[in-house]
Structure 1
Amino acid sequence: MNKLNPVSAILDRDSVAAWLFIAPALILLSIFLFYPIAYLLYLSFTTGSFTVSGIEWVGVRNYLRLFTDADFWQVMVNTTYFTLATVIPTIIIPLGLAVLLNKSFALRGFLRAAYFIPSITSLVAVGLAFRWLFQTEGPINNILLQWGLEPIAWLSSTTWAMPVLILLSSWKQLGFNLVVFLAGLQVIPQSRYEAAELDGANDWAKFWYITLPGLRPTLVFAVLTTAIFTLRSFEQVYIITGGGPLNSTNLLVYYIYEQAFSRFEFGYAAAAATILLLIAFVFVYFYLRVWNKE
Structure 2
Amino acid sequence: MTEAETRAVAERAAARRPFWTIRRRDYLVGYLFITPQLAGSVVFVLLPLVLVGWYSMQEWNVLAGTFEFTGAENYAKLAADANLRSVLAATGIFSAGLVALNLTLALLLAILLNQRLRGTTLFRTLFFSPVLVSLVAWTIVWKFLLQAEGGINGVLGAAGIDGPNWLRGEATAMLSVIVVQVIKNVGLNMVLFLAALQGVPAQLYEAAKMDGAGAWTRFRRITVPLISPTILLTSIITVVGSLQVFAQIAVLTQGGPGTSTTVLIYYLYQQAFQFHHFGYGATISVLLFLIVAALTLLQWRLRRKWVFNEA
Correspondence for 2:234 = 222
1:110 to 118, 122, 143: 122
Correspondence for 1:88 = 100
Secondary structure of residue in 2 paired with 1:59? coil
State whether residues 62 and 276 of structure 2, in contact with CA within 8 Å, keep that contact through their aligned partners in structure 1.
Answer: no
> What is the CA-CA distance between 1:287 and the residue it aligns to?
3.9
Correspondence for 1:194 = 206
1:37 to 46, 49, 52: 49
1:173 lines up with 2:185 in the alignment = yes
Structure 2 distance, partners of 1:151, 1:199, is 51
1:21 lines up with 2:29 in the alignment = no
Secondary structure of residue in 2 paired with 1:243? coil
2:84 to 69, 72, 81: 72
Larger Rg: 2
> What is the CA-CA distance between 1:89 and the residue it aligns to?
1.2
Correspondence for 1:278 = 290
- My pick for the range that moved more, 18-27 or 262-271, is 18-27
> What is the CA-CA distance between 1:49 and the residue it aligns to?
4.7
Structure 2: where are the runs of 5+ without partners?
1-9, 15-19, 305-309
Structure 2 distance, partners of 1:90, 1:214, is 20
State whether residues 53 and 286 of structure 2, in contact with CA within 8 Å, keep that contact through their aligned partners in structure 1.
Answer: yes
TM-score when scaled to structure 2? 0.86
Correspondence for 2:5 = none
Q: Please give the root-mean-square deviation of Cα atoms over the aligned residues, in Å.
A: 2.3
Structure 2 distance, partners of 1:128, 1:25, is 36
Aligned residue identity for 1:145: G
Q: Percent identity?
A: 33
Aligned residue identity for 1:61: E
1:59 to 48, 71, 88: 71
Correspondence for 1:142 = 154
> What is the CA-CA distance between 1:56 and the residue it aligns to?
1.5
Secondary structure of residue in 2 paired with 1:56? strand
Structure 2 distance, partners of 1:182, 1:204, is 18
Structure 2 distance, partners of 1:47, 1:238, is 26
Aligned residue identity for 1:253: I
State whether residues 44 and 269 of structure 1, in contact with CA within 8 Å, keep that contact through their aligned partners in structure 2.
Answer: yes
> What is the CA-CA distance between 1:290 and the residue it aligns to?
4.8
Query: Alpha carbons of 1:198 and 1:67: their partners in 2 closer, same or farther (altered >3 Å)?
Result: same
State whether residues 115 and 175 of structure 1, in contact with CA within 8 Å, keep that contact through their aligned partners in structure 2.
Answer: yes
State whether residues 221 and 287 of structure 1, in contact with CA within 8 Å, keep that contact through their aligned partners in structure 2.
Answer: no
Structure 1: where are the runs of 5+ without partners?
none
1:12 lines up with 2:12 in the alignment = no
Correspondence for 2:248 = 236
Correspondence for 1:205 = 217
